[in-house]
Structure 1
């Protein structure tokens, strides 16, 4: 899988384009997902996600996918599970200090981000929140679908959750 993972980073723009086609299609199916029940869909969708992303990106199923922000290199492949850049122990040849035969995940992330579109490549500069382990082995695809639905509802209503209807949105 390491060679496929490296291929995905080398072809980060293709992976980004593929994601940009399928993500809107998947999230538009939210009415179907809600009708079937997100809870009922979690196991089968997570299994498909694990298989596909595991093969392509050596995904660790953290449930909070950051591939589009990390040049299509899964930061959870870092032996130290760092989500916001290298540890400082990167060897002179660009390899990991913990696993010397493996290229540093963050060197790969930087290289992948440089191959992405300007908008996608710039995401590597965004600070990622720490991993919330309650989402381990859950589908980030379903989570994104729910989040996009919430964003659409907020955009339509013109206010954020918890805001009274008389207050202007920020």
Structure 2
């Protein structure tokens, strides 16, 4: 399904529309319970096939050219690692295009969130794995950084 990822401007518009739709419900969205289970199911059904989503709970697709950084074999949230082959493929999986090269190229087509590719991302909070990223963003859990980490 990379054909849809190759249309980051369209995906950015869909992301912004989803943000706007969920904003009024922000205070009502909470982790746990049937609402989160429904969101988790929805994210698995949509982001799974579209982005090979790993359900990290801290989705930063909008900051990485609509390319999931967790699909990098090194699961690097800040990249590239420096192990990119001359042909643009991954040093760990030579048959795979470098996730971060794709993210960089795709982010150029995103007028609103494209510049966020330069932002240093905080470490992944593994406690959020398997939870709904949209709810974590609404509650602020996705943006909280672990104690001791300075951006």
Give yes or no for TM over 0.5: yes
Deviation at 1:50, TM superposition (A): 1.4
Work out the CA distance in 1 between the residues paired with 2:39 and 2:16. 19
Whose helix proportion is higher, 1 or 2?
A: 1
For residue 5 of structure 2, what is the aligned residue in structure 1? 9
How is 1:110-121 mapped onto 2 (pairs within 5 angstroms)?
Answer: 110-117=104-111, 119-121=112-114
Q: Residue 142 in 1 paired to residue 138 in 2?
A: no
Would you say how many aligned residue pairs link Structure 1 and Structure 2? 140
Q: Take 2:70 and 2:32, find their aligned partners in 1: how far apart are those partners?
A: 25
CA contact (8 A) 1:72 1:112 kept: yes
What's the C-alpha RMSD, in Å, of the aligned pairs?
A: 1.5
C-alpha contact (below 8 Å) 1:10/1:115 kept by paired residues: no
Relative to the length of structure 2, the TM-score reads 0.87
Worse-matched range after superposition: 44-53 or 132-141: 44-53
CA distance, structure 2, for counterparts of residue 16 and residue 107 of structure 1:
18
Which whole-Å CA distance do the structure 1 matches of 2:140 and 2:126 have between them? 18
For structure 2, list consecutive stretches of 5 or more residues without a partner in the other structure: 142-151
Q: Is it true that 1:68 corresponds to 2:62 in the alignment?
A: yes
* Cα deviation digits, residues 83-129 of structure 1 (max 9, x gap): 11111110111010111111000011001101111x31100000001
Match of 1:165 in 2: none
Shift of 1:32: 4.5
